Amino acid sequence: MSNTELKGVLFDMDGVLADSEEFICEAAMKMFAELELTVRPEDFLPFVGAGENRYLGGVAEQYNFDLKAAIGGIDQAKARTYAIYGEIIRGRMKELPGAAEFVNSCRKKGLKTALATSADKLKMVYTLDEIGLPLSSFDASINGLDVERKKPFPDIYLKAAELIGLKPEQCLVVEDAVNGVQAAKAAGCRCLGLTSSFTIEELEGANWFAADLSEVPPEALKW
């Protein structure tokens, strides 16, 4: 059996399993508005997939806005954003097409699965609960609190592969963000890029592309 044969699938969460990008953006904008700073949705785009520290901190930096003076720091800003997020997703957020079915089909094929999200654990739990996909659907999970260096660094995917007992080159990463594709490739994984958040051109470096997990090209699982 080849050392590079597909044996596991590592899933990002936001934009892959759940259509959560618009909600975390809405929550972050509301948090900044409470601090009397008006920001735009497009301000967050460079930081999608890099974890909430960069997602919120990067936008604050763009505006030379002092989060520490305004709310006590990044941890307090995240806590308030997550509280808003947990409220606004109720009854509004759904799993992306084919997500649960594809995760389950990977398991039935004998592939190991891991959830590897740059989001903090609280956001991960809120999101999975809302879309009805239990954490037990995965052999392992890792969130943004488990790694110091977030995407586009490869650390989260290296650790996810290790947790399911595989080498990175035996894993397919499913990603929707530029930072995530870069992290997957830097880790030595192959990558399926979903165009739910960015275009094929922007996700340059992914091995395969699909609109969502209901349209995965067969060759992405045959190597």
Active site residues: 12, 14
How far is 121 from 86, CA to CA, in rounded Å?
13
Q: What single string gives the DSSP state of each residue in 185-197? A: HHHT-EEEEETTS
Q: How long a stretch of residues is the chain?
A: 223
Based on C-alpha coordinates, what's the Rg of the chain? Answer: 17
- DSSP lists the bridge partners of residue 204 as 206
CA angle 213, 218, 223 (to 5 degrees): 115
DSSP helix/strand/coil, 68: helix
Question: Rounded to 5 degrees, what are φ and ψ at 15?
Answer: 85, -5
Whether the Cβ atoms of residue 179 and residue 152 lie closer than 8 Å to each other: yes
